[in-house]
Amino acid sequence: MRILSISFVAIVFLATVACSTQKQSPEELKERTAEATQDLKQNAKAVVEGVREGWSKDKPLNLNTATKEQLTSLPGVTSDQAEAIIVSRPYYAPNDLVKRKVLSRGEYSKIADRVTTAGGKPNPGM
């Protein structure tokens, strides 16, 4: 029964669209195309961010070797913060970011499970 009602609604919708005799002006067509393109770009960006987020959850980012682009892909990390992270290398533990005041504790908590120092040696001075 549900399939029949969904099919009926779809047929009514298609008939309404197909029977429309109003022509679109070139300007309206351009506008609708621009809107559709903008929506597509936003959706593609969301997909890329989702893939990037999924990748970073599976494989922690090494603070000692990550590029600026990789660091800015972490939640809440700005370009300036990424530069500060790079300048303050090497790191012996991920929470060195807080100890060295590169990031606040709140900022660090957003990325703590996504970063590593991968085999850094303890620094007795820390």
Residue 65: give its domain's CATH number. 1.10.150.320
Q: How far apart are CA 58 and CA 48, in angstroms?
A: 15
Q: Whole domain around residue 71: which residue ranges?
A: 61-116
84 located within any domain: yes
The C-alpha atoms of residue 3 and residue 124 are separated, in whole angstroms, by 69
In-domain check, residue 38 = no
Question: What is the arithmetic mean of pLDDT over 77-100?
Answer: 96
d(CA 102, CA 74): 15
pLDDT tens for residues 11-63?
Answer: 765 566 555 556 778 888 888 888 888 887 787 777 777 766 665 557 899 99
Tokens of 123: 């620094």
Rounded to whole angstroms, how far apart are CA atoms 1 and 45? 39
For residues 86-94, give the mean pLDDT: 96
pLDDT band, residue 85 (cuts 50/70/90): very high
